Amino acid sequence: MIPMETSKLIIDYTGMMVSEQNSKGFAKEDLLGLQSKLDEAQTNLHALRDSGKLDFSLLLPEMLAQLPELCAYADEVAAKFENFVVLGIGGSALGPLAVQQALNHYYYNELLPDQRSNRPRFYVLDNIDPVRFKELGQVLDPRKTLYNVISKSGNTSETMAQFLIVRDYLRHFCGESYADHIVVTTDQQKGNLLPIALKEGFKRFVIPSGIGGRFSELTPVGLLAAAICGIDVEQLLAGALEMDRRIRETKGVFANPAQLKSALSYLSWQKGKKISVFMPYVDGLKTMADWYAQLWAESLGKRYDRTGKAVSLGQTPVKALGVTDQHSQVQLYAEGPDDKVITFLTLEEFKDTQGIPVDSALPEDIQFLGGKTLEELLFAEQKATEYALTLAGRQHQKIILSALTPFNIGQLLLLLEWETAYMGELFNINAFDQPGVEEGKNGTYGLMGRAGYEAKKQAIKEFGQERHLLE
Ligand SMILES: O=P(O)(O)OC[C@H]1O[C@H](O)[C@H](O)[C@@H](O)[C@@H]1O
């Protein structure tokens, strides 16, 4: 365990190491063997930051400075609107969703009124399922709803399609004041959303140009949604800044949390662990696993390395939830192929507790539960799963947060972002692009008739000619 004096985030990597029960774990020397590579990674990442890049870290102080303006707007609209809906996808949706679920309400307010405050209820429309889209529109009163269109590129078909529908609908129901129901978060200079926002007078927030979607939660992408829904964004950034400082200033694999995490990931990958299971034991962190999945998949899943050599690297992220998936996936983790590394995410303490009643008339085999609490049961199950996996020779690690607080969530986000950046260095790939999604996007443009993509349309038509169907 790394003792962290000031913070409340602990990495417990006992389950990754060799032990009496698991001879297949790593030795300290294995980790130390990576130190020179990690030092090189640290030098490269610092150089990148010093040259004005690596913005997810570099721009944190600037984001802090922007908070007064952002929070003033957030307070103003929170007093006016009952509902706040994000229109965005990928990095423009998963971060806001994860933070909201972690800190505001386990079920992100969709079905339950917010009992914490009179802040707006929070919704995300990322997918373009027409039924869900229409049904949410029927439930929310447009006059009491604020829509936040979030798109870094301003070109994403899903988000732009939703925006066009919502704009029409707001014009219909709110008349000339429709623009007051739309706030846009996009690049300062580029993309199709920007000129529309300027022309129609939408309130606008800027996504700094060097930050990619999956690294953008602690920019107005996530900060605005969080502030509107009453999350302490200053604390969120304070936690992020603390973890950022720690990672930048600490040296050595046993002291630097990002070095340790990336070294464990890299070594496990070298040992054939091609799957990374992210398994929170907290309902509030369930969507954090979605955010992590995009971060890990898009950043590290690369066909070529930086020299142009074909490498096909990556580690497939899998989302799981404890204890639920103990009853669904853990069988595979314990006895299936030894190709997974499992990261548990747990709390030291839940914000509430629930006792289990005692009933001495019950059969003896159930009586042991009486007088305990649900969290005792949950912690026992988590620990027992660790034990069982260790006995089965399967590697696992654990991130422990003292509690679900904005400070800890800020720390967690930065830890995972830095770990990903380090992994990019260890793999010698560009962790900040995603060329593999372009072909599909261009194909969609072709099929949907966007000018300039006629050749794609034709190619897809030809590709689709020979079918193998069973009807
Ligand atoms: O924020 P946007 O530009 O609309 O992008 C939304 C998403 O689009 C793409 O599919 C990218 O692969 C993602 O990395 C990105 O987060």
pLDDT tens per residue across span 140-174: 999 999 999 999 999 999 999 999 999 999 999 99
Query: Is the distance from the beta carbon of residue 316 to the nearest atom of ligand 1 less than 6 Å?
Result: no
Q: Are strands 302-304 and 182-187 parallel, antiparallel or unpaired?
A: unpaired
Q: What secondary structure letter does DSSP report for 318?
A: E
Confirm whether 298 is a catalytic residue. Answer: yes
Nearest Cα residue to atom 14 of ligand 1: 213
User: What is the distance between the alpha carbons of residues 270 and 253, in angstroms, rounded to a whole number?
Assistant: 17
Domain ranges in the chain? 10-51+242-427, 55-231
Question: What's the pLDDT score for residue 117?
Answer: 63
Amino acid at 95: G
The answer to whether domain 10-51+242-427 and domain 55-231 are alike in fold is yes
Residue from 87, 163, 437 to probe ligand 1 pocket by mutation (most atoms less than 8 Å from CB): 437
Residues in the chain where the model's pLDDT stays below 70: 1-7, 106-117
Whether pTM exceeds 0.90 = yes
ipTM above 0.85, yes or no: yes
Coil, strand or helix: which one is 369? coil
Question: What's the pLDDT score for residue 394?
Answer: 97
User: What is the distance between the alpha carbons of residues 125 and 162, in angstroms, rounded to a whole number?
Assistant: 8
Nearest Cα residue to atom 9 of ligand 1: 90
Question: What's the pLDDT score for residue 3?
Answer: 37
Q: Dihedral sign, CA of 440, 445, 448, 453?
A: negative
User: Which atom of ligand 1 lies closest to the CA of 294?
Assistant: 14
Name the catalytic one among 298, 386, 417, 419: 298
65 and 56 Cβ atoms separated by less than 8 Å? no
The 10 Å Cβ neighbour count of residue 36 is 9
333 and 454 Cβ atoms separated by less than 8 Å? no
Secondary structure element (H or E) that encloses residue 183, with its range: strand 182-187
Question: What's the pLDDT score for residue 5?
Answer: 43
115: CB partners within 8 A, 6+ apart: none
89 CA → ligand 1 middle, Å: 6
Nearest Cα residue to atom 11 of ligand 1: 90
User: What is the distance between the alpha carbons of residues 147 and 182, in angstroms, rounded to a whole number?
Assistant: 5
Question: What's the pLDDT score for residue 181?
Answer: 98
Domain 10-51+242-427 class? alpha beta
Instruction: Quote the tokens at residue 299.
Output: 């950043």
Question: What's the pLDDT score for residue 142?
Answer: 97
Residue with tokens 């307010």: 109
Q: Report the candidate in 71, 295, 93, 57 with the shortest Cα–Cα distance to residue 205.
A: 71
Query: Is the distance from the beta carbon of residue 213 to the nearest atom of ligand 1 less than 6 Å?
Result: yes
User: Which atom of ligand 1 lies closest to the CA of 88?
Assistant: 4
Q: What secondary structure letter does DSSP report for 159?
A: H
298 CA → ligand 1 middle, Å: 10
90 CA → ligand 1 middle, Å: 5
157 and 444 Cβ atoms separated by less than 8 Å? yes
Nearest Cα residue to atom 13 of ligand 1: 90
CA 275 to chain centre: 17
Q: Report the candidate in 214, 339, 346 with the shortest Cα–Cα distance to residue 277.
A: 339
Q: Which fold has domain 55-231?
A: Rossmann fold (3.40.50)
Confirm whether 396 is a catalytic residue. Answer: no
CA 79 to chain centre: 28
Q: How many residues does the chain have?
A: 471
Q: What are the distances in angstroms from CA 177 to CA 143, 150, 305?
A: 10, 20, 51
Question: What's the pLDDT score for residue 186?
Answer: 97
User: What is the distance between the alpha carbons of residues 288 and 281, in angstroms, rounded to a whole number?
Assistant: 11
115 CA → ligand 1 middle, Å: 33
Confirm whether 105 is a catalytic residue. Answer: no
